[in-house]
Amino acid sequence: MEATRQETPRFDAAPYYSHPQGITLYQGDSLELLESMEPEQFEMIFADPPYFLSNDGVTCKSGRMVSVNKGRWDRSMGVQANHEFNLRWLQACQRLLKPDGTIWVSGTHHVIYSLGFAMQTLGYKVLNDIAWFKVNPPPNLSCRYFTHGTETVIWAARDTDSRYTFNYKTMKEMNGGKQMKNLWNIMSPRKAEKVHGKHPTQKPMKLLRRIVLAASNPGDTILDPFCGSSTTGVAAVEEGRNYVGIDQSEEYLDLSIARLQDVL
């Protein structure tokens, strides 16, 4: 679907990649870039921030034992420093949302309580907590915990006065004519979603497509401040939205470009 041409986001940084069909990617520190942008530019934000899981442990992937380490960006700085980081980027995103905009933030139990408390502290209006059931999660190798089969996605409006978008009829149609619940059964990304390469925290297209359709309209501009391989961007472009992504990694920005070019 053709996206509405967007204006370049208003700040001084040069884009890593841009396309006239409403796509702009930036490379750099997300906090610095978010805080340098002019306010009230985005109708929707999806954020998949660091979960701080890289602790030298192991997990199971495709039947093999692998390290949980994803990169320096995913290492915990300690509970207080992690929370201060979450407060800072969420405050920056709140400033960038238009008055009626919303934000979706994903996390596991390692970080979601900090994120939720930070959002309440900043005056966001929490609308829903979505329980994403992964259907086929990897087993727990230690056998000392229940298998981790869910992630939480918090959906919140910029503030209590926001007249936010919720495409109720679309969600009902997607759910066979019944009201959609906040429990979403969606499998992790399939091989077909990783043909250009892999990102360690990649989200499934079905999850992001549903989020984009639920809370934005064609021509809206969606920001992903930790964009990784830009699943958010692929969903946005396919559904006629504009997209701005930020990431530190040149490798993952190049992966984003390859994925985005497939749907242009």
- The answer to whether position 74 is within a domain reads yes
Pairing of strands 97-107, 42-47: parallel
Q: Is residue 162 part of a domain?
A: yes
Residue 24 and residue 17: Cα distance in Å, rounded? 6
The DSSP H or E segment spanning 254 is helix 250-262
Q: What pLDDT shows up at residue 138?
A: 83
- CA 219 centroid distance within chain: 19
The chain-wide mean pLDDT, for the chain, equals 90
CATH at residue 86: 3.40.50.150
46, part of any domain: yes
Residue 240: Cβ within 10 Å count: 18
Number of domains in the chain: 1
Query: Does some domain include residue 23?
Result: yes
In a domain, 31, yes or no: yes
Residue 3, pLDDT score: 44
Q: How far apart are CA 26 and CA 32, in angstroms?
A: 11
- pLDDT tens sequence across 89-148: 999 999 999 999 999 999 999 899 999 999 999 999 999 999 999 998 888 888 898 998
Give the sheet arrangement for strand 97-107, strand by strand: 17-19, 23-27, 242-247, 221-224, 42-47, 97-107, 150-157, 125-133, 183-185
Domain that holds residue 116: 17-262
Q: Is residue 205 part of a domain?
A: yes
What per-residue confidence (pLDDT) applies to 198? Answer: 87
**In the chain, which residues have pLDDT < 50?**
1-3, 56, 58-60, 66-69
Residue 58 lies in a domain: yes
Q: Give the Cα separation of 188 and 136 in Å (integer).
A: 7
pLDDT at position 153: 98
Find out whether 114 and 152 touch, Cβ atoms under 8 Å.
no
Give the pLDDT confidence score for residue 63 in this predicted structure.
52
- pTM reported for the whole predicted model: 0.89
Sorted by sequence, the CB contacts under 8 Å of residue 129 that are 6+ apart come out as: 116, 152, 153, 154, 155, 182
Place of tokens 């204006």: 7
Measured from the Cβ of residue 23, the count of other Cβ atoms closer than 10 Å reads 25
Q: 16-19 contacts: CB < 8 A, separation 24 or more?
A: 16/250, 16/253, 17/253, 17/256, 17/257, 19/260, 19/264
Which pLDDT belongs to residue 9?
Answer: 73
Residue 41 lies in a domain: yes
